[in-house]
Homo-oligomer: A and B are copies of this chain.
Amino acid sequence: METMKKRRSIRQYTSEDIPNELLNDLLSTASRASNTGNMQLYSVVVTRDAENKQRLAPAHFNQPMVTSAPVVLTFCADINRFRIWAENRKAQAGFDNFQTFMAATIDSMLFAEAFAEAAEEKGLGLCYLGTTTYNAKPIIEALNLPKGVVPIVTITVGHPQEPLPAQCERLPLDAIVHEEKYQDYTPEAIDRLYKGKEESDSNKEFVRANKKETLAQVFTEIRYTKANNEHFSAVFLQVLKDQGFLK
């Protein structure tokens, strides 16, 4: 719990490698996480080779962690292994659909987060890359992912470089927790819940540097624009079709 409370994303790593034995112990521990019907509808691809990291880097918009971290992990929703097992056992898996994609996505995310918790408990630092669902197609090509497999998130992991970055703020708990029923947000509630976030020095600087009037505008007009979101939605839905999860 104490490690969890102090956690922050780590984007700079020392040159120290992660022994295979430790990595495997962490992944094995993480595989104890809950999953759908104990089918384990996920896989993870481990990238350590420098050339292979270079190949992945553009898919993550060349964020430097991809090439500087000793280990890059790509967590995938995977029905391929289960389907082959079934076919070899006189069974036919009807898993090429959106509901099973959701189950496999959930499985792979619980597995990824369990890995993250275990790794951080062992003193490692990591960063999730949200670029994975934007650029799933080049990642599929770089990692030879067959039909039935879709990359969902990537984690870069290594030993944290000191000094550690400051911990980011979070919304107060009553912003995210609803008792019994969902209580929609009044303008007054929004003011109260977002006050700390809006008044943090780093976010104020973020607004200034981006020449915007409000912090929300930095998100909606620069970081996560409607045009980009819609473009990458169409691209990802096509990936789901190509990988066999949507008709």
- Using a CB–CB cutoff of 8 Å, the interface residues on chain A facing chain B are 1, 4-7, 9, 24, 27-34, 36-40, 42-49, 52, 80-82, 84-86, 88-95, 97-100, 102-103, 105-106, 109-110, 112-114, 116-118, 121-122, 127-128, 130, 133-134, 143-146, 149, 152-153, 168-171, 173, 175-182, 184-185, 187, 190-191, 193-194, 213-217, 219-221, 223-227, 229-230, 232-233, 236-237
Contacts and interface: CB of A to CB of B under 8 A. Distances in A.
B110 A112 contact: yes
Nearest to A213: B90
A105 B103 contact: no
Contacts of A28: 173
Nearest to A31: B170
Contact of A91 (B31, B36, B216): B216
Nearest to A134: B99
A105 B177 CA distance: 16
Nearest to A128: B34
Contacts of A144: 181-182
B45 A178 contact: yes
B227 A177 contact: no
List 3 A-B pairs, minimum CB-CB distance, nearest first: A94-B226, A109-B109, A113-B113
A94 B214 contact: no
Contacts of A226: 92-95, 97
A62 to B, nearest CB: 18
B7 A90 contact: no
Contact of A88 (B143, B187, B232, B236): B187
16 contacts: A4-B29, A4-B118, A5-B29, A9-B34, A31-B173, A33-B116, A45-B180, A45-B181, A86-B219, A91-B220, A93-B226, A94-B227, A95-B224, A99-B233, A99-B236, A143-B178
Given A98-B236, A144-B182, A182-B145, A93 B44 contact: no
Given A37-B219, A37-B223, A93-B220, 11 more contacts: A4-B29, A37-B224, A39-B224, A84-B187, A85-B194, A90-B214, A94-B229, A99-B233, A106-B133, A113-B113, A117-B117
